[in-house]
Amino acid sequence: MSGLYLNKAVPNTYQYFPLNEPEIGAAQKPEDDQNLLLFKPLTIRDVVFKNRIFVSPMCQYSSDNGHATDWHFVHIGGFATRGVGAICMEATSVVPEGRISPQDAGLWTDTQIEPLKRIVNFAHAQGSKIGVQLAHAGRKASMHAPWVQSKAGSDARAFADENEDGWPSRVYGPSEIPYSSRYPKPNPLTEQELLDLEEAFSAAIERCKKAGFDFIEIHGAHGYLFHSFLSPLSNNRADQFGGQSLENRLRFLLRVVKRCRAACDRPLFVRISASDWAEFPEKDESGVWKQWGIEQSSILVGKLKELGVDLVDCSSGGNWREQNIPVVPGYQVPFAEALKKAHPDMPVGAVGLITEPVQAESILKNGQADIVFLGRELLRNPHWPIMAAQKLNVKVKPANQYERAWY
């Protein structure tokens, strides 16, 4: 006999973990990642993502005063061991009153760093890139967790009251326009409060760096604070941050992104809603903006590119209570495609009922997006990347511990 046959360890980790060579979710033959874009590595700044299957940020409503728990460790760790190219952790508020629900994640204090660092360290030990979505829920803050609201019924108030650990009197937005009659009436943010939020986002970026995240995403979608500033449906301010002027409605988000870019030494993403899905045109015949849509989104993406944003995560909806969305497979991909056509050199992520491997690969092959974000499909099947590789006839590395289930 010659040589030693060792169960190699991942170097420089806090515990023993078997080393995967190549990394979990990477094509085992170099030529395979050339033939399939889904498993072709992507480099953004100096971060190499081993494939283009990204986990969408998905709220878990399971934090302890904003602190991640063992639920998050297991939830996120499951994705890290199953071959995704990157994981974006859930909407994480930069201030307590910016949480969607009382049990939402936060990064407004240093004690919230260590539980996240534990998750990040485990993900890195499995060869997975991991980021976090920084957020403020705006006028959609202080909500019940979905299963709590389900028990209350669709006609009940949607928000958590003070005796339910909520803060309905301290919900903020651009204007006094509530999302619906079942939501709190928001307090319009003053210019000083907007400056304070800039500071809060910048401080949260520093905490992200201490936790070790590989990338950071700013949540500008789904009717939360930034989206509500962008849309004329929710922003009727008369100052430099609102009204009919598109420049004014863009101002707050762009100022925060500029601050975050200056503080962030790693890839910076921004998630946007490309349409409010209201039943009337984005702009009327006289040129008055009526809702947020793809034309304004394209202008916004151009400005984000100028500020040094590295990727736009393109979603839609969430700001107009009466939205009527035709939910079909890939229903949001046309928005990503439009932004990609307008800005070919800006990496774009596509979302929205992407469930089938051939579907995901075709989105990339057709140039509609550079990566795909999967959410509910990965909740149903965390092994989706390995399953997708099998369906696409490419051999991808499973975790050593799971390899016998696949090959």
Residue 334 pLDDT: 97
Rounded to a whole number of angstroms, the CA Rg of the chain reads 21
- Structure confidence at residue 154 as a pLDDT band (50, 70, 90): confident
Proportion of the chain above pLDDT 90, given as a percent: 93
User: What kind of architecture, by CATH, is found in domain 46-323+338-350?
Assistant: Alpha-Beta Barrel (3.20)
Break the chain into its structural domains and give their ranges.
Answer: 46-323+338-350
Residues 6+ apart with CB under 8 A from 186: 138, 139, 171, 172, 173, 175, 176, 177, 178
Q: Are 79 and 120 in contact, with CB atoms under 8 Å apart?
A: no
In this prediction, residue 32 carries a pLDDT of: 61
- Does the annotation count 224 as an active-site position? yes
Integer distance in angstroms from the first to the last C-alpha of the chain? Answer: 27
Mean pLDDT, to the nearest integer, of 254-261?
Answer: 98
Asked if residue 54 lies in contact with residue 88, where contact means CB atoms within 8 angstroms, the answer is yes
28 has a pLDDT exceeding 90: no
Are 216 and 131 in contact, with CB atoms under 8 Å apart? yes
Predicted local confidence at residue 196, as pLDDT: 98
Which residue has tokens 């988000």? 253
Q: Reduced to 3 states, what is the DSSP secondary structure of residue 291?
A: coil
Structure tokens given for 286 = 């006289």
pLDDT at 104 over 90: yes
The model carries a pTM of 0.96
Cross-strand bridge partners of residue 315: 273
Of 16, 179, 224, 407, which is the active-site residue? 224
Q: Categorize the per-residue pLDDT at 3 as very low, low, confident or very high, splitting at 50, 70 and 90.
A: confident
Torsion angle of the four alpha carbons 285, 290, 291, 293, in this order, in degrees rounded to the nearest 10: 20
Each residue's pLDDT tens digit, 66-91? 999 999 999 999 999 999 999 999 99
Percent with pLDDT over 70 in the chain: 98
